Amino acid sequence: MTAHDLRTRVSRRKLLSGLSLSAIALTSPIWRAATAFGQDASRPAAKRFIGIFSANGTIASAFFPEGDASDAPLGALPAILAPLDGYQDQLMVLKGVHMNSTVEDELGVPSSNKPGGPHMKGPGAMLTGGSLMAGSFTGAGGPAGWADRISVDQAIANRFGSDTRFPSLELGVRIEGQEPLRVISYRGANQPNLAIDDPLQMYDRIFADFELSDAERAARLAEQRSVLDFLKDDIARLQARVTSEDRARLEAHLGGIRGIEQRLASAAVACEQPMKPAPLDTRAMENFPVVGQLQLDLMLLAHRCDMTRVSTFMWANADSWQYFPWVGVNEEHHELSHAGDDDTAARDKLIAINAWHAEQLKYLLDGLAAAEEADGTRLIDNTLVLWGNELGAGNSHSYTDIPWLLAGGAGSALRMGRYLQFADRPHNDLLVSVCNAMGMDDVTTFGIPGVCTGPLDLG
């Protein structure tokens, strides 16, 4: 698509200044078909987890396939999922899995006064199975803060992330707004992992020190260790003198220092560094698809190069006010999502927006399928992708029937290629199943324990 094409599709409110896609693609020589790096061929390939967020709910009739069977093979895909046609064997659509724990108390009793507006609650709950703490951001049930516990990607990273350069990577595109709208990944209560939504910054982060020779690297390592040792000592000294609350804050800081240590200790990555993308305005509304693709490329690269095994990706913030002129939507996504059920024009546009996101998922799956692991399997076979949303339906702010989609093989832990319908199960159960599929068999509850009813049967 050229900039010109893009423009002609924009009607009155054309917000595009135009930027040629070809000018900024990641030009990586290892990109199209290559072996995943840095792994031991004698061991089975490591499992990977990728969490994906998109905003403002879905159109249920265009997301969930037809039929009432509780367990049916995945056949023809509805409009939103249609771009994923061909991947049926690698997909699982889940219906009847709600996110009511965002509005329930510790015992699973509905509670109307949990902090945060409906859009704000969703991202905080999607991967944590918890809820937002009280804070200063405007919202229903009292002003909200950050989420109150760890998210599933971080639980997985804590278990399996120590072998790689980054325990996890958090990426996204145009993430804006009040802070709790911007985050799905949490290391713990009040510990948001804010995603980087600028591919240039992400590039700098993951390819830091790439050019160094072995000798340079060793010298640098020794020095950094002295500094890190000093800091660990220094933090411990201060921790002894402050309140318990501040001790926890410093502990989080220490976690960051340990993260840097881990990166130093991890083996050099045998990956060729791609060209750095040319500068572009990552905040511009019209650059959403370009930035998104660059970020997907970087995420794929990080997995292929085994720099990380866990990542999350946010398509804008919750409550997203993004426009999608390239699919004929010249209105704010959020405002559109409030349209009534009988507003067919709005409905079609929302389907187009969601289908566009499915198309991006296909791009990701293509990348994962094209990469071979050292043991001969493909990256996609060992990866579990979880695509979720902050809401079920945007116009009612419902947390029922969240559009959950699992993709990939998770190392054969799950029987994919199915459409499963549950009778109102909490998404905490899904998060338990995700942990189990990743090999964390000891996990029996996730998020708010009181709402858990046991893992979903996905095997």
Partner 1 sequence: MRFGRSPIISVALLALTACSGTISGGGRPSDSSAGDGAGPRERPGASGDSGGDGDGDRPEDPMVDPDGPGGNPPIDCSEQPIDPGPAPLRLLTRTQYVSTVRDLFDEAMLAESELSAALGPATEASAFGLVQPDVTQVQVEGFQKAAELIAKTVVEREETLDAIAPCADGADPTACARDVIERFGARVYRAPIVDEDDIDHHVTLFEAGASTSYAHGIELLLRGMLQAPRFLYRVELGTSERVSATAVRLSPHEIAARLSYWVWGTAPDDALIAAADSGALDTDAGIERQLERLLGDPRGATLLRRFLEGWTHVSAVETLVKDPELYPAWQEPALREAMRAQASAFFDHVLEEQGGTLSALLTSRSVLVNDALASFYDVDGSGEAFEPVELPEEQASGVLTLPALLAILAKPDESSPIYRGKFVREMLLCQQLPAPPANIPPAPEVEAGVSTRERLRQHEVDTACSGCHQLLDPIGFAFERFDAIGRYRTIDGGETVNTNGALTGTSDADGELDGVAQLGARLAQSAEVEACMTKQWFRFALERFEQEIDACAMQRLIDRFEASGQDLNALPTALIASDAFLYRRPIQSEPEP
Segment 284-303, which members bind partner 1 (CB under 8 A)?
A: 285
Query: Taking the complex as a whole, how short is the minimal distance between the CB of residue 177 and partner 1, in angstroms?
Result: 5
Q: What angle do CA 150, 155, 158 make, to 5 degrees?
A: 120
User: Rounded to 10 degrees, what is the CA torsion of 148, 149, 152, 155?
Assistant: 160
The binder of partner 1 chosen from 158, 338, 348, 417 (CB under 8 A): 338
Smallest CA-to-CA distance from 91 within 65, 60, 123 is with 65
Does the protein bind partner 1 through residue 194 (CB under 8 A)? Answer: yes
- In angstroms, the Cα distances linking 249 to 69, 134, 189, 256, 374 are 49, 17, 11, 11, 40
Cβ nearer to partner 1, comparing 57 with 426: 57
The partner residues of 420 in beta bridges, in order of sequence, read 71, 94
Among 108, 142, 417, 439, contact with partner 1 (rule: CB under 8 A)? 142
Among 159, 249, 272, 440, interactor with partner 1 by CB under 8 A: 249
Please give the Cα distance from 430 to 253 (Å, whole number). 31
Q: Does 199 bind partner 1 (CB under 8 A)?
A: no
CA distance to 116, 166, 284, per residue, from 218 (Å)? 48, 19, 41
Q: Does 12 bind partner 1 (CB under 8 A)?
A: yes
What residues from 413 to 432 belong to the interface with partner 1 (CB under 8 A)?
Answer: none
Query: Which residues from 100-119 bind partner 1, rule CB under 8 A?
Result: 112-113, 115-119
DSSP state of 8: H
* Residue of the chain from 227, 267, 268, 278 that contacts partner 1 (CB under 8 A): 227
- Looking only at residues 344 through 403 of this chain, which bind partner 1 when binding is defined by CB under 8 A? 345-346, 395-397
Applying CB under 8 A, does 201 fall inside the site for partner 1? yes
| Least distance from partner 1 to the Cβ atom of residue 144, Å | 8
Closest CB 340 distance from partner 1, rounded Å: 4
172, 155, 85, 63: which is closest to 401 by C-alpha?
63
Complex with partner 1: residue 47 or 397, whichever CB lies closer:
397
Piece of 237-245, 267-275, 409-417, 444-452 that binds partner 1 (CB under 8 A): 237-245
Cα separation, 262 vs 249, whole angstroms? 20
Q: Does 307 bind partner 1 (CB under 8 A)?
A: no
CA distance 381 to 437: 13
**Residue 126 binds partner 1 (CB under 8 A):** no
Residue 434 belongs to what H/E stretch? helix 427-437
Exposure b/e, 194-229, CB count within 10 A at least 16 = b: ebbbbbbebbeebbeeeeeeeeeeeeeeeeeeeeee
The DSSP bridge partners found for residue 54 are 389
Binds partner 1 (CB under 8 A): choice among 68, 214, 223, 442 = 223
- Does position 19 interact with partner 1 (CB under 8 A)? The reply is no
Q: Does residue number 248 form part of the binding site for partner 1 (CB under 8 A)?
A: yes
The binder of partner 1 chosen from 31, 137, 203, 207 (CB under 8 A) = 137
- Residue 235 is a binding residue for partner 1 (CB under 8 A): yes
